[in-house]
Amino acid sequence: MRNVYMTDELTAIYDQTVDFVRKEVTPHAEAWEEVGMVPRDVLKKMGSLGMLGLRVPETLGGLGLGMLSSAVFSEALGASTYGGFDVTVLVHTDMSGPHLLNSGTPEQLERWIPGMLSGDIITSIGVSEPDAGSDVAGMRTSAVRDGNGWRINGTKMYITNGVYGNLTILAARTDPSNRYGITMFLVPADTPGFSAAKKLSKHGWRCSDTAELVLDDVWVPDDQVLGTVHRGFYETMRNFQNERMVLIGMGVGAAQAALDMTVEHTKSRKAFGGHLFDLGAIRQRLAMNQAKLDAVRAAMYHAAWLGDTVMGPGVDNTREMSGVKAYGAEVINEIMYDCVQFHGGMGYIRETAVERMARDARILPIGGGATEVMLEEVAKRAGSDPAR
């Protein structure tokens, strides 16, 4: 049993996902890194296996599971060792999709959910802007009333799945007099005036497509408003803890894979009349890294359980998950640093997995809430009873 929160169903999800990525992703993903895209047929295969609907209610064709299932799923995806693949999937299932589930009308759910479950429709979340990342309320993209719809203008930046995706769940300012007067919209990729102006070249996550999106007098009808007008800021916040969790989850899975590779390498690498693992400085550092990773994993699952409305109490877990995001992202990067170091010169060569994994991990303290912002969330809640 991986931890006290695991059930037979969650264990099966973990095992199925690890088996899938080891067979269908890891052997092929280096080619995807070169073209900057995860093939759609791979995502559709995941859809056919039910892997894109863990959090979707059973009434809509999903499994109806809670936050713990996303923790398990994201950690298992990390075994692929390709962060770009992991985030392509998780932006669809856990960063954009939940907004539709949380705020969508029955008609919107009927229109979009079947394709999202099958992988025929891949989604992105359009919140970040050139001057507004963690400061969501600082966004400048605007939407104004125009007949029986809205006219949207602005730019979104660093949007995963924005180049090849089919639907963007997009935030825009609709009340200029209110810093938090934001509304969410459903914007299909083929909407006139909506374009991926640039495919961004990144340090890591190379096989995920990342876009600068431009909205030039984009018009959407009222039935593409998601949730309540002017309340989008608060509706967006409903999924923040889930976003933070799955980023750490995929990082935990990747860090475990990197540690396992490095232990194997140091045990076989001959040096100084023995093997690298025989050196106390190396094996003890690897041991400490494993201890830290185990602590991050345990904290993540506990925070997930707190917020889980299906298997847990479903309470506010902002303090706990913000702490997991801040500490976990730093630990994962420390581990990747050491794994590159202990691979020696080969750790700096592009054909070595840990070189790529170290680059992929660097975004974790930045994306989904920068470490500094996460620590402020923890500090604001310092002294509160974690048991509540």
Catalytic residue ranges: 243
Contact 252, 332 (CB under 8 A): yes
Terminal C-alpha separation, the chain: 28
Amino acid at 242: N
CB atoms under 10 Å from CB of 78, counted, come to 30
Q: Three-state SS string across 211-272, please?
A: EEEEEEEEEEEHHHEECCCCEHHHHHHCCHHHHHHHHHHHHHHHHHHHHHHHHHHHHHCEEC
Q: 183: which 2 tokens?
A: 């509304």
Sequence-distant (6+) residues with CB within 8 A of 252 are 75, 78, 293, 296, 297, 300, 328, 332
Characterise 172 by phi-psi region: left (phi > 0), alpha (psi -120 to 50), beta (else).
Answer: beta
DSSP secondary-structure letter at 132? B
> What is 288-350 written as a DSSP string?
HHHHHHHHHHHHHHHHHHHH-TTTS-----HHHHHHHHHHHHHHHHHHHHHHHHHTGGGGGST
How many residues would you count in the chain? 388
Name which of 146, 149, 152 is nearest 129 in CA terms: 152
